Amino acid sequence: MPELPEVETIRRYLEPRLVGKTIKTVEVLTAKQFIGKKEHIIGAKIAKIMRQGKVLIFRLSNDLFLNIHLKMAGQLLFAKNKNQAVYQNPIPKANTTTMPGRTTRIIIGFTDESALFFNDLRKFGWFKIAPEPLAPLSADVLSKQFSQYYFKKTIDKSNKPIKPLLMEQDKMAGIGNIYANEAVFVAGIGPQKKAKNLTEKETTDLYLAIKTVIAEGIKYKGSSSSDESYIQPDSSRGQYQHRSRVYHREGQPCLKCNTKIIRIKQNGRSTFLCPHCQK
C-alpha cells in the first residue's frame, strides 16, 4: 500500500503539472470506485493538490474537493497526451507500457488533452467528490500537530504492541507497514513491545526515528519492491527499497550487527526485525 512518502511523491510530481488545468472529461470504468456525480467537477480547474496522511486531495475552483485514496494497489499515471499515453517503463500489474490498460478504472481528461489515469488491480481505491477534504482527523506525521508531546500522549497508555499501533490512522496519519518496520528498527525497539511500556528515551527515539524514515522515504521517492504496485506518475520506480534496513530483508544480515533479519506476523501483516538490535 502506498504510504505517506509514496503519496507525497505523487503529489509533488502532479502539482506543477496539473494545477491550473481544467477538467474536460471524466471516464469511470469501474463505478464503485468513483463516488459522486462526475458532472460536478467537469469544467472545474485544479486549484491546489494537498495530502493528509495517505489521502491525496485536489481542491477545485468550484469549492469542491476530489479526494483520492490508492488503498492497496492504486496507481496514478500522468500523460501529456491522453491518446498517446506511452511510458518508458512497464506498469506493474498492468503488463503494458501504454494507457489505458486492463487495470485502468478512472480517466480524467483535461482541456489541453493531457490526462490522469487511475489504475487499481484490486479495486479497493476510490475517488470521492465532497465539499471538504476527506482525510484522517489524526495528526499527519509531517504536520506541526505531530509533536513529540502529541506522539507521547497518543501511545502512552496503549496496551497494544508498538509497531501495529504506529499504523493506526486514527492515531497518526501516514505510516504503513514499510515505515513502521523501519522506524522501530531505527529506534532499537522490539515491534512486539507494548506501547505503554516504552521508556521516555525509547519514546523520544521512536518519534525521531519516524521523522527520519519518512524523510528518507520522500527523498528516495517511495518504495517500489518487486511485489508492490507503487510507481511514480511517469512510470519510474521509487528507490527506497534499496535503502531499507529491515523491510523485505528476511534472512539477510542486519546492517548493524550481521544477525539475520527474521519475519513474524502481527495483525496479519509481516513484521521484519533484528532479534539482536531490537529489544
Positions marked active-site: 2-3, 54, 269
Rounded Cα distance, 117 and 82, in Å: 9
C-alpha grid cell, residue 30: 469501474
Burial class of residue 199, CB neighbours in 10 A (0-12, 13-18, 19+)? exposed
The separation between the first and the last C-alpha atoms of the chain, rounded to the nearest angstrom, is: 27
Which of helix, strand or coil describes residue 43?
coil
DSSP secondary structure code for residue 167 in this structure? T
Contact 102, 94 (CB under 8 A): yes
Where would I find the H helices in 132-199? Answer: 148-155, 162-166, 177-186
The CA distance from 72 to 3, in Å, is 10
Amino acid at 127: F
Contact between 120 and 101 under an 8 Å Cβ cutoff? The reply is no
What single-letter DSSP state applies at residue 45?
Answer: B
Query: Which set of grid coordinates corresponds to residue 217?
Result: 522515504
**Nearest Cα to Cα of residue 79 among 70, 88, 71:** 88
